Structure formats: structure tokens, C-alpha cells
Amino acid sequence: MFFAGIGNAFTLLPVMPEIVSGVTEHYEKAGIPINEEELHNNLAGYFNAFLSIGEMVGPATCSIVFDNFNQTWTKSFLVIFGAFYISIHIMLCGFK
């Protein structure tokens, strides 16, 4: 558990400044006034909420797919979903 906590810290914490800078840039382009404290609190809340939802839904989805298909198809589903996600990201955001 110790190493899982260290790994989560190294993978999740660097994401927050990127989220804040992206939202701040979007707000500035739209001319929306920014309250830094409220922005940080809301983004942290959304981030933690969706992280928790993903940790709950992910294993359930995986078990449903694994029960209905064999291991090979489960891995194929993961690869297809990942390729679809990356393709959509590249089309919408480019290579940022």
C-alpha cells in the first residue's frame, strides 16, 4: 500500500496545475472573472469526485466485461477503448 500511495502521488498531483492553467486560460479568453480560491476548490472537488467514481465504476465494468467475454476479448476491449480515446483527444486538442 505504501508504494501504491507513492505512485498515486507521482501520477495524480502533477495533473492539477495543468487542469488549473487550462481552465484559467479558458476563462481569460471568455472574459470571465476568476476567483482563484473558488476555482481551486471547485477543480479539486471535481477531480476527487470523478477519481472516486472511476475507482468505483472501473472494477465493476471490468468484471462485467470479463464475465461476458474471455480474457483475450477483455484485453482487446481495453486496447480499442484506449485507441478511441487517444484518437478523440488528438482530433479535439491536437498534440499538446
pLDDT digits (tens, 9 = 90+) for 37-87: 998 898 889 988 998 898 899 888 878 877 887 777 778 888 898 999 999
Q: What is the mean pLDDT of residues 28-37?
A: 88
Q: What is the pTM of this model?
A: 0.62
Whether the pLDDT of residue 96 is over 70: the answer is: no
Mean of pLDDT values over 17-34: 87
Count Cβ neighbours within 10 Å for each residue of 62-96 and write b for 16 or more, e otherwise: eeeeeeeeeeeeeeeeeeeeeeeeeeeeeeeeeee
Give Dmax (Cα) for the chain: 52
State whether residue 67 is helix, strand or coil.
helix
What integer pLDDT is reported at residue 87 of this predicted model?
Answer: 92
Per-residue cell: 16: 492539477
Cα dihedral 68/70/74/76 (nearest 10): -130
Contact 22, 7 (CB under 8 A): no
Cell numbers found for residue 45:
472537488
